[in-house]
Structures are given as structure tokens and as C-alpha cells.
Structure 1
Amino acid sequence: MTPKILFTAGETQFAQYREPLTAALAEVGVSADLGRDHAPNEVDYLVHSAHSGEVTDFTPFTRAKAVLNLWAGVETLVTNPTLTQPLARMVDNGMTEGMSEWVAGHVLRHHLDLDTFTLNQTGWSHPPVPPLARDRRVGFLGLGRLGRAAAEMLAALNFDVAGWSGSPKNIPGIDTFHGPEGLAPLLARSEILVLLLPLTDGTRNILNAERLAQLPHGAVVLNPGRGPLIDDTALLAALDSGQVGAATLDVFRQEPLPADHPFWAHPRVTVTPHVASTTRPQSASRVIAENVRRGEAGEPFLHLVDRAAGY
């Protein structure tokens, strides 16, 4: 029987995904009925985005073998009591590369103090010479797939890179810290701090006033991970005091970021509109197609979410 795939991520995205997903399914030998209007009790797979809000009650999808998320973040899905089907998050080489490039670009921007020349330069002057990359300490909170890839890219550029995770990691060329006892040492050496943790009860507000104070004075904070990883009020206070020298933020507690939010007007804050790692239809379609193939073959799905861990 031909599996039915319901695309619930919105009409605009469906227009972008229809051809590459159809092609990707054909490449793995799956003939599927991909559409937007299948009856819930006839659906075998949902290609889903929590951002679209089209499906919040998964109870009617009694035949569904899996919900295949288009994004890496699943914090709004793991708490949905109606979602009892297997849930797979998006783990995609295109997203990984895009994130690494965003992180590397903004680390280099702050490392070289490029804003001095592009925004504030009014004459021929010579600001302080920055250290070489080997003398700039960059820290990562989060060493999963995205964090590790971005950390390795910066290490390849000769930065002094370290990272922290909840459990032990062994990454050649990168100093690693883990567990509650490893957080303070990581923060203390991070002149530029990158947040790439999943959002869970244990990571919410992980960068609060106490931990911001543990950073070197004038440190830079980059957050392409999840907005609620940072206590906004504490970050604004640290920026005002100079404890944090600058922040580049791609994710926020409320998106789009409200027009009256203080981040917009703060001279030490750069806002980017959740573009650090956009899902790209060509590469993401191959991930979705492979999971549909696996489901039809009775094989284990890739990138299944651990509901207890939250990611």
C-alpha cells in the first residue's frame, strides 16, 4: 500500500519542498502520496513544523508511524501529551554547515572587532590590534552535532576552543568540560561564548546573572541555540555594566522579537532573525525520505527524540 505523507509545515514551505521531497523519495525507492489534505486516520507520516501551528492535536492520526520534524528544536513537541507517535528531529548536513558558518562568521567579526570599522569609523585611526586566533579563547555551551561541528571549524581556524556538555565528550583538539562542576571553568575561560544547547528544564536560563558574572570581563555572547537559554534581564544588565561587551542573538523567547524589546535599541546587541541554521529543502528532504524508507522497511528511524531527555 502506498504510504500517505501529510505535510503540515505550511503552504509556502510545501511549495518549496514538494519537488525535492518527491525526488528524494524516488531516490530511496519509495512511492508515496505526498499532500496537504489527507484525512488524519489515513496518514502514515507527518512532515511537521511546530512553527506552523497547523497540527497541535495528534490524537486523530491513529495510523501514523512517525512525526518527522523539519527543525532540530523539538521543545514544543516533547511536552505535547497527544503526540504518542515516534518523533524524529531534523539532523541534516545542510543545517550543520549553515550553523558552523554563522558561528564562524560572527566569532571572526567580534574577534577582529570589525564593527569598529563598519559601523563606528569616522576617520583614519588605529584601534587596538586584536590577538591572533590562537590567543583568543572561544567557549561552547553544547557539544552535540551542531556545537561540535562549529567548534571544530573554529579550531581549524586556530582558535583556542573549549566546550561544555552535560555528559563527557572526547573531541580531538578541543578541551572539554562536563557536568555541573565543569560549567564555571568553561565560562571563566570564554572570551567569546557560543550557546548551542537544546532547550530543556535543565538548560533554561542556564546563562543567568550568576553565570554571566563568571565570564571574563567584556566577553562576547553568541546565541544561535534557543532564546530561553539566556535570562534576558540579566544579559541586559551585564551589557549595561560592561561585564558583557557585546551580544549577537539569533533566537528569542518570543519570535518575531517584539518591536519594543530592548535588544533592538541596545548599542551592544546585534539581532539576526533566526537565520543561523535554516532548514534547506534539498538536504532536509533526503533526511525525511530516508526515515520514510526506514519506516516502510520496518527499520529503526534516524534521529529519534528521547522524550525523557527532551531532545
Structure 2
Amino acid sequence: MCILYMADPADAQKWRDCLSTLAPELEFRQWPDIGNPAEVHYILAWEPLADIAEQFGNLRLLYAAGAGVDQFDLARLPANVSLIRLVDSSMADIMAEYVLFGVLALHREILAYQEDQRSGRWRPRPIVHASQRRVGVMGVGNLGRAALDRLQPLGFQLSGWNRSLKEVPGGHCYVGPDELEAFLGQCDILVNMLPLTPETDGILNAARLDCLPHGAGLINVGRGAHVIETALLSALDEGRMGGAILDVLVQEPPSQDNPLWKHPRVLLTPHVASDVQIEGGVAVIVENLRREREGMPLLNVVDRSKGY
């Protein structure tokens, strides 16, 4: 029984060491040295092989080495192979830190002050109390809930939008397409944490961005494809939106002529809001080994009907 590693070679030894300590019964192999493919029961990969079913007839579980799973074609994954997300509390905590930073930066108008600094302007702005600022999170899953929990003690008015009803600490959850515009209409700061699916691709288009209150800010830590970048740029240039903090883009890195690089009301970070933490990821793998042995439901299995 072995696990085949097909992710960043720079991290391979760390995964090997952690797995050998916590799951010594699981042989670690690193692509392309697959050995006997019949012995590969688990794969840890960033992107899958096109012929994964043909190569690995005894494959049981495919672990996603990144936070998202939109890079996997679920239609080509055999029905008997489950796709697993390596989401754990440490990953959620790191994501919540970034969201907290972004919300506070937009709340205290730090992007506008940076623009003033570059222009040599000394222009204090009125301070808005957190209790008067409405923050909405799109996608109230494990990561979204962690972000909301981190924001709640600061006193923001919180809300969420989700496919199904979820608890929002101290706030309201809007549900489904019929309530999306109402949700957006009360978001002074919008945080996108959605998974990328056919239904959410391009969800923040010009019409949806126009639903936001005048001067609203956007934090995107979901996927670049959620936001129509030309629509966002227009909203920023026309003053309808006050700023955007973007950790993900359609093209990463963006081309050098992409206007987002130098836009005065945009902060770009290179897809670093969060990532799978090796210790936490291994903990999920070890727990699922135990659950397999005992015939229990596995952790973090991707629902193929939803795509996440």
C-alpha cells in the first residue's frame, strides 16, 4: 500500500518525513518513480493525469494538494475513486488571517491612504466604526466560517451568501441565486470565498458589481475566474467601488500590461492567502486511513454533484 506524490518537488521531502512519522505503514513514492502501479492506492496531486484510471487500477483516493479542486475533471475520475480536499483547521486559520487583514485594510481605507502617500497628499478621512460597516462573505464553508468567526469580535455587521443555509455568527445567511442581489446590496466589503464551479464562474460580473453599495470594497480569495476583471476595473475607475484586494487572478501571474498591476486602488498578492499545510494535510490522510479501516465516512470528500 503506497501513496504517490505528484505535487511540488520542493515540498516532497517534508511530506515524506511527516507521513513516515505519522503513517509508517504507507509507502511514499514520488512521481515519476511510481514502481508497480498496482500498489498505488492513494495519490497526492496538484493536477491529475489524463489516464489516471488506466494507469492505477487499484487507486482508492485522490488527494488535492491545493486548496481548491477546480483543476480536476470529476467526469474523468472513476466512480470508485473519491477526491479529497486537505482542508484542516490550520489552513482555515491562515485564510482567516488574510481575510481579516483585507477587511481591516478596506475598512480603514488603507488603499486610499497609499494613493495619497504616492501623490504627496495629507488628507485625513472620517473614521467609520466597525459596527457601521457591513461585511459579507460569499461561500460559508469551512474557510468562510473561520473568517466570519475571526471578524465577529471586531463588531462588524456580518452576513453570508451560500448555496444552502449556514450559520453566520451574529448575522444573516442569504441563500441561493434569488437572494444574491439582496446580499450584495448590503455589502460595504465583499469577501469572495466561493469554490469555482460552472455556476460560480464569472459570478461577479458588471451587473453583480453594480449591486454593491457605492464605494464598496472587494476581497477575492476564491478564484480569479469568479471576477470579470474588466468589469471590476470599470467600477474602480468610475468610483463606484472604493478598492479591491486580489489574491487570485484569471491569469497568474498577470501579463505585464494588465492594468491591475498599477491601479491605485488595487492590492495584488501572489495567491498566498492560504495553502495546504503539510502537517494538517497529513493529519487528514492519517485520519482517513483509520476511517477506511473502520468503515467510517471519510473526511472532506468532494461532492461530485456540487463540484466541491
Paired residues of 1:155 and 1:174 also in contact (CA < 8 A): no
Partner SS state of residue 52, structure 2: coil
**In 2, Cα distance between equivalents of 1:306 and 1:177:** 22
Give 1:194's aligned residue: 191
Q: Hey, what does 2:13 align to over in structure 1?
A: 15
CA distances 1:139-189 after superposition (whole Å, capped 9, x unpaired) = 111111111110121112111111111112233412111112211111111
Could you tell me whether the CA contact under 8 Å between 1:95 and 1:277 is conserved in 2? yes
Q: Structure 1 residues 182, 299: closer, same or farther in 2, change over 3 A?
A: same
- 1:42 and 2:39 equivalent? yes
Distance 1:61 1:282, change over 3 A: same
The question of 1:88 aligning with 2:88 is answered no
Which of residues 74, 95, 98 in structure 1 aligns to 2:94? 98
- Cα distance in 2 for partners of 1:213, 1:21 equals 48
Residue range with higher mean Cα deviation, 171-180 or 113-122 = 113-122
Deviation string 1:97-136 (CA, Å, 9 cap, x unpaired) is 0010000011111111234555633779451122111111
Within 5 Å, which residues of 2 pair with 1:176-191? 176-191=173-188
Equivalents in 1 of 2:127, 2:77: separation in Å? 53
Query: Which deviations, in whole Å up to 9, do the C-alpha atoms of 1:61-81 show, x marking residues without a partner?
Result: 101111111223111214451
CA–CA distance in 1 between the matches of 2:122 and 2:254?
36
Paired residue secondary structure (2:282): helix
Q: What letter matches 1:304 in structure 2? A: V
- Unmatched tracts of structure 2, length 5 or more: none
RMSD of aligned residue pairs (Cα, Å): 1.9
Q: 1:18 to 1:242 in 2, by over 3 A?
A: same
Contact kept, 8 Å, 2:22 with 2:286, in 1: the verdict is yes
- The residue aligned with 1:73 is 68
**By how many angstroms is 1:226 displaced?**
1.0
Q: Find the counterpart in structure 1 of residue 57 from structure 2.
A: 62
- CA distance in structure 2 between the aligned counterparts of 1:88 and 1:117, rounded to whole angstroms: 43
Deviations 1:8-65 (A, max 9, x none): 1132121232212222225xxxx11111122322201111212xx6x33312110111
Contact 2:247–2:271 (8 Å) recurs in 1: yes
In structure 2, the partner of 1:33 is 27
The answer as to whether partners of 2:190 and 2:217 remain within 8 angstroms in 1 is yes
Which residue type is aligned with residue 257 of structure 2? D
Q: Report the Cα distance in structure 2 between the residues aligned to 1:16 and 1:118, rounded to whole angstroms.
A: 39
SS of alignment partner, residue 76 of structure 1: coil
Correspondences of 1:216-255 after superposition (within 5 Å): 216-255=213-252
Q: Which residue of 2 aligns with 1:110?
A: 106
Query: Do the aligned residues in 2 keep the contact of 1:78 with 1:307 (CA within 8 Å)?
Result: no
Distance 1:190 1:110 in 2: 12
Tell me the CA shift for residue 290 of structure 1: 1.6
* Percent of residue pairs identical: 40
1-side partners of 2:246 and 2:237: how far apart? 16
* Residue 239 to residue 123, structure 1, CA distance change in 2 (3 Å): closer
Amino acid at match of 1:309: K
Farther off after superposition, 288-297 or 205-214 = 288-297
Provide the rounded CA distance (Å) in 2 between the counterparts of 1:40 and 1:6: 9
What is the number of residues matched between the two proteins?
302
The 8 Å contact of residues 67 and 275 in structure 2, kept in 1 or not, is answered as no
Which residue type is aligned with residue 175 of structure 2? Answer: H
* 1:203 aligns to 2:233 (yes or no): no
Does 2:120 match 1:145? no
Query: 2:149 and 2:73 mapped to 1: Cα distance?
Result: 30
TM-score, normalised with respect to structure 1: 0.91
